[in-house]
């Protein structure tokens, strides 16, 4: 049985608990992507991030993405969690965990899920820079 | 007709609110929401965004109905 | 600074501690592969696995692989741990963790490391089957 | 000359030991190790393997030196 889950959270992410829930006895591979606030972007020093979301649509859209990606690969579970609010340097903003019998489809599914969430999910990121520069909302406008 | 407009990120900051109600003429399309937004908050003209009607991304030609939820979605960057 | 680490262990693997050690402040991506004993192989029911290794050569060879893969991608740390001895169903036999500023190179590096370890590292796996079948050493002989 | 031979996996099980010493003639190549192994434990003929000399995979034509560590590496499957 495949299973797909997505939720937002307000505090620190726990990727390990997703991994424990992801694995089935027929799975030989668990691939995890954790996105972390880093201290730079396009050559500028970043001191922090904050996320907000159009939550209802984002949940529906991400679950649709997981079902589509899961339908295209021999994977078991795809579990995703995204943090909202401020995320300090070094803390996780997203965790994507995919379990599968074999590792190839697990890698492919994690990459596709990440690429599509970035392009399609209405989640907004504000970057705070060092040196007194104005904070900026970053990213690209999605297409129909 | 009346539509419920949701604002995010820089649009929310410019408007100073995360939701507003717009009164539009019959047969209005999403472009009418853009015009009303720009009229109320001219600074939003600088912000590229796409509309989502009832949680689906839509073109500016999308015809609106009374009671629609119209979200204005600027640059996204989840993950 | 890049860093590459490999070690064998006898008991349960702790991928999370590798992840914590992997991340640098300039890294926005941490990708983890965990290989787990699954309950089937080529259609047969598997009840357990045991690993042994030519340890000195395996350590040297894996560290060489990590340095080569790391040299080819913009990644930070590549940390790998492999368990030896019996590994029950559902427990991890290997964890590969790669940190990087951006996710693409991290995914590529994890996949390459796994592919090369499987092909090159002198590590041997014995599968125990259900139903009284004889246990079997599996895999392929490496090439020069 | 004398080489130190390491046995793994099914080869180790057949031989009942994980290391043995082989006495070989001067100028012997890795193939001499194969022949000696097969002579002592005929069942090892059924097991495909490659040799590694001093921790590097080598061809059967590799010339051995006194004191070499010769590992016999059957099918591998780490990970």
CB atoms within 10 A of CB D40: 12
Taking the C-alpha atoms of residue C91 and residue C82, their distance in angstroms, rounded to an integer, is: 12
- How near does any CA of chain A get to the CA of B1, in Å? 23
Please tell me which residue of chain A has the smallest CA distance to B58: A144
Residue A72 lies in a domain: yes
Q: To the nearest whole percent, how much of chain B has pLDDT over 90? A: 100
CB–CB of B77 and A117 under 8 A? no
Please tell me which residue of chain D has the smallest CA distance to C120: D76
DSSP β-bridge partners for residue A33: A96, C31
Mean pLDDT, all residues of chain B: 98
Which residues of chain B lie closer than 8 angstroms to A140, CB-CB?
75-77
Q: How confident is the model at residue C41 (pLDDT cuts 50, 70, 90)?
A: confident
* Residue A28 · residue A102 · CB < 8 Å: yes
Residue C75 lies in a domain: yes
pLDDT at B70 > cutoff 90: yes
- The most distant pair of C-alpha atoms in chain C lies apart, rounded to whole Å, by 53
Taking the C-alpha atoms of residue C44 and residue C135, their distance in angstroms, rounded to an integer, is: 12
CB–CB of A54 and B8 under 8 A? yes
Phi and psi at C9, nearest 5°, equal -140, 160
Res C43: pLDDT: 85
CB–CB of A35 and B49 under 8 A? no
**B48-56 CB contacts, 8 Å cutoff, 24+ apart:** B48/A141, B48/B74, B48/B75, B49/A141, B49/B11, B49/B73, B49/B74, B49/B75, B50/A141, B50/A142, B50/A143, B50/A144, B52/A54, B52/A57, B52/A122, B55/A56, B55/A57, B55/A60, B55/A61
Which residues of chain A lie closer than 8 angstroms to C31, CB-CB?
31-34, 110
Res A132: pLDDT: 83
Q: Does C40 touch chain A (CB under 8 A)?
A: yes
Tokens of B78: 């989840």
Residue C114, CA distances (Å) to A19, B58, C28, C56 in order: 19, 43, 22, 19
Q: Order across the sheet with D2-7: list the strands.
A: D19-23, D2-7, D69-73, D50-53, D56-58
CB–CB of A93 and B52 under 8 A? no
- How near does any CA of chain D get to the CA of C115, in Å? 9
Q: How confident is the model at residue A1 (pLDDT cuts 50, 70, 90)?
A: confident
Residue C136 lies in a domain: no
pLDDT digits over D5-44, tens only? 999 999 999 999 999 999 999 999 999 999 999 999 999 9
Phi and psi at B2, nearest 5°, equal -125, 130
Residue C72 lies in a domain: yes
Res C62: pLDDT: 98
Res C132: pLDDT: 83
DSSP β-bridge partners for residue A77: A3
Q: How confident is the model at residue B42 (pLDDT cuts 50, 70, 90)?
A: very high
Residue A70, CA distances (Å) to A6, A110, A140, C30 in order: 13, 10, 25, 22
Res C136: pLDDT: 96
pLDDT digits over A31-72, tens only? 999 999 999 888 889 999 999 999 999 999 999 999 999 999
CB–CB of A90 and C32 under 8 A? no
Inspect the structure and tell me whether chains B and D have 3 or more CB pairs less than 8 Å apart. Answer: no
CATH of the domain at A51: 3.90.1170.40
Residue A36 lies in a domain: yes
Res C100: pLDDT: 97
CB–CB of B79 and A123 under 8 A? yes
Mean pLDDT, all residues of chain A: 95
Name which of C26, C29, C35 is nearest A29 (Cβ-Cβ).
Answer: C35
Residue A87 lies in a domain: yes
Q: Which of C14, C39, C21, C27 is nearest to C95 (CA)?
A: C14
Res C42: pLDDT: 84
Residue C138 lies in a domain: no
Taking the C-alpha atoms of residue D16 and residue D19, their distance in angstroms, rounded to an integer, is: 9
Q: How confident is the model at residue B25 (pLDDT cuts 50, 70, 90)?
A: very high
- How near does any CA of chain B get to the CA of A4, in Å? 17
CB–CB of A38 and C28 under 8 A? yes
CB–CB of A34 and C32 under 8 A? yes
Domains and CATH numbers, chain B: 2-74 (3.10.20.30)
H or E element at residue B4: strand B2-7
Taking the C-alpha atoms of residue A90 and residue B66, their distance in angstroms, rounded to an integer, is: 46
Residue A2, CA distances (Å) to A68, C98, C139 in order: 12, 27, 29
Res A131: pLDDT: 84
pLDDT at C13 > cutoff 90: yes
State the burial class of residue A31 (Cβ atoms within 10 Å of its Cβ: 0-12, 13-18, 19+).
buried
Residue A139 lies in a domain: no
Which residues of chain C lie closer than 8 angstroms to D71, CB-CB?
54, 57, 122
Match 């427990």 to its residue by tokens: C91
Radius of gyration of chain D (CA): 12
- How near does any CA of chain B get to the CA of A74, in Å? 24
When divided into structural domains, chain A yields a total of 1
Which residues form the domain of A14? 4-131
pLDDT digits over C70-124, tens only? 999 999 999 999 999 999 999 999 999 999 999 999 999 999 999 999 999 999 9
Res D25: pLDDT: 96
Scanning C43-102 for CB atoms below 8 A from A yields 89-90, 101
Tokens of A118: 């970035």
State the average pLDDT over residues A110-124.
98
- How near does any CA of chain A get to the CA of C59, in Å? 22
Q: How confident is the model at residue B60 (pLDDT cuts 50, 70, 90)?
A: very high
- How near does any CA of chain C get to the CA of D50, in Å? 7
Q: To the nearest whole percent, how much of chain C has pLDDT over 90? A: 88
CB–CB of C141 and D78 under 8 A? no
Res A43: pLDDT: 85
Q: Give the ipTM.
A: 0.94
């Amino acid at each position: 049985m495949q299973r797909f889950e997505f939720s937002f959270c307000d505090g620190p992410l726990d990727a390990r608990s997703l991994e424990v829930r992801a694995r089935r006895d027929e799975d030989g591979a668990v691939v995890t992507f954790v996105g972390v606030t880093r201290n730079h972007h396009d050559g500028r020093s970043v001191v922090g991030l904050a996320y907000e979301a159009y939550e209802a649509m984002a949940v529906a859209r991400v679950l649709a993405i997981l079902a589509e990606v899961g339908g295209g690969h021999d994977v078991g579970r795809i579990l995703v969690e995204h943090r909202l609010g401020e995320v300090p340097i070094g803390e996780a903003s997203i965790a994507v965990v995919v379990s599968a019998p074999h590792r190839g489809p697990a890698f492919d599914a994690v990459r596709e899920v990440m690429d599509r969430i970035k392009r399609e999910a209405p989640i907004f990121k504000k970057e705070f820079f060092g040196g007194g520069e104005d904070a900026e909302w970053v990213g690209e406008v999605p297409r129909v | 007709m009346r539509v419920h407009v949701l604002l995010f990120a820089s649009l929310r900051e410019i408007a100073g609110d995360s939701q507003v109600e717009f009164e539009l003429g019959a047969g209005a399309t999403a472009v009418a929401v853009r015009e009303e937004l720009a009229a109320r908050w001219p600074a939003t003209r600088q912000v590229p965004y796409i509309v989502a009607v009832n949680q689906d991304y839509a073109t500016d030609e999308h015809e609106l109905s009374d009671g629609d939820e119209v979200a204005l979605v600027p640059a996204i960057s989840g993950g």
